[in-house]
């Protein structure tokens, strides 16, 4: 399948000379447990990649979870594939830019989250050296982005309503509810009643349903939802197309969208009318921009998904979400949604928006003292080969 070139080609930047790759593993406590259809998290198990170059350094964050329950990738596995295959491949090239990373790592099948973390670190180093911010590099058109918040599965309706009310009062522009069989119609009805008919409300199923549930999911039409996100397994484009034909609520794909090519195919098959873009899921921010571009060319709105990122990943997501095709509030919540303290400068919600960092690179600085305090494994140093 032929996919059009990017609508605004990314700028050419000087390459960097890669000297060392470091893997940092930290455990960050969440301010409250976060539950989805595939489990409950109490801490964020974070893998950060730092590249050191002749001109400075760059950071990337891996969005994989501790266990392979959301995707086939998981933190320990990512660390191993980075150490054994991906980092040595880049160190063997040595002089390169972010645009070169995909080709250099193409001999490894899959492992998009691992590749994304490494590509982001190289891009951070490259743009810092050039004095260019991520927002400038991606083609951001807004100085700030509207923010939504993702609300996990609660232990009771009362607990859910209390949490949603706190986010509404904090100024979030959109509420997303995690749902699963047995936790869908009743909590959605209660939240819709709380927020009123005009508030932006959407649901995320994280692949928890099957095609046999289409009649049940059709009942969500009663609540005037912005969208229903990924009810079926990622490979099942046909069932999403069947659902889209059967309900009024727009169907949004998340886990299914692994590249610009897949996005084009899903749109052509009427399986989705809205796309959630997660850079880690598609292999990096360069591919995320391509997904944005092909969706925009087809008048398909996109929004930026989140994976409980620290400030490292959040900074890049906010810059991405400032592109013109991101017309819906994303999961780019403030730092305090998940963490009492962030690994970088905190992202603070102001009237429902986050500012796009303007400093070079990602625009944020890793707090080395917190990196040390929360470190869960020794640093892995991968030198030039």
* Residue for token pair 């470091």: 22
Asked if residue 5 is part of any domain, the answer here is no
Residue 226 shares a structural domain with residue 350: yes
| pLDDT attached to residue 25 | 97
Q: pLDDT, tens digit, for every residue of 27-44?
A: 999 988 776 766 777 889
How many structural domains comprise the chain?
Answer: 2
Task: Quote the Cα angle for 183-72-92, to 5°.
Answer: 145
Residue 4 has pLDDT above 60, yes or no: no
CB atoms within 10 A of CB 153: 19
180 is catalytic: no
Average pLDDT, the chain: 95
- CATH number of the structural domain spanning residue 28: 3.30.390.10
Residue 78 shares a structural domain with residue 226: no
* Marked catalytic residue, from 115, 176, 178, 180: 178
Segment 114-131 shows an average pLDDT of: 98
Segment 231-241 shows an average pLDDT of: 96
| pLDDT attached to residue 42 | 81
Asked if residue 10 is part of any domain, the answer here is no
Residue 169 shares a structural domain with residue 67: no
Residue 115 shares a structural domain with residue 181: no
Residue 140 shares a structural domain with residue 120: no
Residue 255 shares a structural domain with residue 282: yes
Give the model's confidence band at 384: pLDDT under 50 very low, under 70 low, under 90 confident, else very high. low
* Marked catalytic residue, from 115, 176, 180, 278: 278
CB atoms within 10 A of CB 46: 25
Residue 274 shares a structural domain with residue 232: yes
Segment 165-171 shows an average pLDDT of: 96
> Which one-letter DSSP state was computed for residue 57?
E
- Name the CA radius of gyration of the chain, rounded: 20
Residue 68 shares a structural domain with residue 96: yes
Q: pLDDT, tens digit, for every residue of 82-112?
A: 999 999 999 999 999 999 999 999 999 999 9
Residue 207 shares a structural domain with residue 70: no
The model's pTM is: 0.94
Residue 149 shares a structural domain with residue 107: no
Asked if residue 124 is part of any domain, the answer here is yes
Helix/strand/coil for 148: strand
Residue 66 has pLDDT above 70, yes or no: yes
Q: pLDDT, tens digit, for every residue of 175-193?
A: 999 999 999 999 999 999 9
Asked if residue 7 is part of any domain, the answer here is no
Asked if residue 362 is part of any domain, the answer here is no
> Which residues 6+ apart lie within 8 Å of 292 measured at CB?
277, 302, 320, 323, 325, 326
Residue 39 shares a structural domain with residue 110: yes
> Which one-letter DSSP state was computed for residue 61?
E
176 is catalytic: no
Asked if residue 361 is part of any domain, the answer here is no
In the chain, what percentage of residues exceed pLDDT 70? Answer: 97
Segment 50-74 shows an average pLDDT of: 95
Q: pLDDT, tens digit, for every residue of 285-317?
A: 999 999 999 999 999 999 999 999 999 999 999
Q: pLDDT, tens digit, for every residue of 252-268?
A: 999 999 999 999 999 99
Four-residue CA torsion sign, 253, 67, 174, 6: negative
- CATH number of the structural domain spanning residue 253: 3.20.20.120
Residue 385 has pLDDT above 60, yes or no: no
Rounded Cα gap, residues 337 and 149, in angstroms: 8
Residue 105: both structure tokens together: 């790592």
| pLDDT attached to residue 32 | 82
> Which one-letter DSSP state was computed for residue 357?
P
- DSSP letters spanning 115-130: HHHHHHHHHHHHHHHH
Residue 194 has pLDDT above 90, yes or no: yes
Asked if residue 291 is part of any domain, the answer here is yes
Residue 8 has pLDDT above 80, yes or no: no
| pLDDT attached to residue 69 | 87
The parent domain of residue 25 ranges over 16-130+368-383
Higher pLDDT, 362 or 8: 362
Pairing of strands 302-304, 274-277: parallel
Asked if residue 6 is part of any domain, the answer here is no
Residue 119 shares a structural domain with residue 144: no
> Which residues 6+ apart lie within 8 Å of 305 measured at CB?
254, 276, 277, 278, 281, 330, 331
> Which residues 6+ apart lie within 8 Å of 156 measured at CB?
none
| pLDDT attached to residue 27 | 96
In the chain, what percentage of residues exceed pLDDT 90? Answer: 91
Give the model's confidence band at 1: pLDDT under 50 very low, under 70 low, under 90 confident, else very high. low
User: How far is C-alpha 170 from the geometric centre of its chain's CA atoms?
Assistant: 22
């Amino acid at each position: 399948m032929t996919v059009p070139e990017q609508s605004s080609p990314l700028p050419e930047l000087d390459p960097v000379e890669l000297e060392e790759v470091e893997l940092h593993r930290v455990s960050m406590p969440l301010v409250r447990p976060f539950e989805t259809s595939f489990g409950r998290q109490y801490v964020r198990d974070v893998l950060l990649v730092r590249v050191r170059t002749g001109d400075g350094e760059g950071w990337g964050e891996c969005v994989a979870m501790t266990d392979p329950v959301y995707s086939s990738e998981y933190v320990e596995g990512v660390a191993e594939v980075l150490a054994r295959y991906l980092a040595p491949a880049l160190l063997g090239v040595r002089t390169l830019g972010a645009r070169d990373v995909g080709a250099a790592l193409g001999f490894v099948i899959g492992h998009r989250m691992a590749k994304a973390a490494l590509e982001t670190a190289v891009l951070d180093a490259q743009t810092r050296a050039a004095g260019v911010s991520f927002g400038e590099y991606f083609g951001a058109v807004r100085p700030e982005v509207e923010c939504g918040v993702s609300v996990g599965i609660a232990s009771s309706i009362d607990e859910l309503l209390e949490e949603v009310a706190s986010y509404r009062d904090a100024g979030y522009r959109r509420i997303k509810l995690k749902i699963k069989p047995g936790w869908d119609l009743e909590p959605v009805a209660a939240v819709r009643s709380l927020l009123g008919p005009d508030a932006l409300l959407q649901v995320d199923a994280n692949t928890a349903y099957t095609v046999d549930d289409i009649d049940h999911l059709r009942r969500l039409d009663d609540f005037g939802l912005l969208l229903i996100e990924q009810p079926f397994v990622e490979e099942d484009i046909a069932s999403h197309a069947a659902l889209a034909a059967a309900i009024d609520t727009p169907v949004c794909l998340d886990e299914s969208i692994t590249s610009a090519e897949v996005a084009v195919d899903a749109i052509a098959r009427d399986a989705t009318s809205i796309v959630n873009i997660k850079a880690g899921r598609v292999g990096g921010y360069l591919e995320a921009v391509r997904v944005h571009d092909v969706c925009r060319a087809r008048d398909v709105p996109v929004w930026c998904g989140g994976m409980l990122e620290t400030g490292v990943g959040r900074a890049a997501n906010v810059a991405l979400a400032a592109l013109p095709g991101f017309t819906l509030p994303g999961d780019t919540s403030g730092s305090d949604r998940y963490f009492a303290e962030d690994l970088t400068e905190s992202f603070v919600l102001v009237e429902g928006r986050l500012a796009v960092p303007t400093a070079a690179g990602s625009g944020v600085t890793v707090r080395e003292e917190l990196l040390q305090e929360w470190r869960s494994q020794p640093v892995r140093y991968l030198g030039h080969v």
